Amino acid sequence: MAGAILQRPLGAQVRDTIPKKRDTTLTIPAPARADSMLRDSLAKKDSIERARIRGDTIKSPMAQSELPINVDIGRNLRWNRDALFASGVIDAADLLERVQGLTTLHTGWVSSPVVGAYLGDPRRVRVFFDGVELRPLDPRHNGTLDLTQINLWAAQEVVVEQAPEEVRVYIRSWTVRSTTPATRTDIATGDQQTNLYRGFYGQRLRNGLALQFAAQQYGTTPPSLYGTGSDQLGVIARVGWSNGLWSVDGFMTRISRHRGNIVGLEQGDAIPALESTRSESYVRFAYREVDASPFWGQFTAVAGKYDYTGIRTVPTTNLRTARDSALAIASLDTGVFQPQYIATVGSASGPFRVSGGVRMSASRGMSSSNMIRISVRARRLPRHR
Q: pLDDT tens-digit profile of 69-96?
A: 877 766 779 999 999 999 888 888 888 9
Note whether residue 32 is domain-resident. Answer: no
Note whether residue 246 is domain-resident. Answer: yes
Domain of 346: which CATH number? 2.170.130.10
Residue 15 CA to its chain's centroid (Å): 99
Note whether residue 151 is domain-resident. Answer: yes
Q: pLDDT tens-digit profile of 246-298?
A: 999 999 999 999 988 888 776 667 788 888 999 999 999 999 999 989 999 99
Note whether residue 142 is domain-resident. Answer: yes
Report the alpha-carbon distance of residue 116 to residue 168 in Å, rounded.
12
Note whether residue 20 is domain-resident. Answer: no
Band the pLDDT of 12: cuts 50, 70, 90. very low
The pTM of the full predicted model, rounded to 2 decimals, is 0.79
* Residue 43 pLDDT exceeds 50: no
Note whether residue 381 is domain-resident. Answer: no
Q: pLDDT tens-digit profile of 91-150?
A: 888 889 889 899 999 888 888 889 999 999 988 999 999 999 999 888 878 888 989 888
CB 133 within 8 A of CB 126: yes
Residue 265 is given by DSSP the state S
Give pairs for 158-162: CB < 8 Å, separation 24+.
158/78, 158/79, 158/84, 158/95, 159/67, 159/68, 159/70, 159/77, 159/78, 160/77, 160/78, 160/95, 160/96, 160/98, 160/99, 161/68, 161/70, 161/77, 162/72, 162/77, 162/99, 162/100, 162/101
**Structural domain boundaries, residue 327:** 78-376
Note whether residue 178 is domain-resident. Answer: yes
Torsion-angle region of 313 (φ positive above 0: left; ψ -120 to 50: alpha; else: beta): alpha
User: Where is average pLDDT lowest: 1-15, 19-33, 134-148?
Assistant: 1-15
How many domains are there within the chain?
A: 1
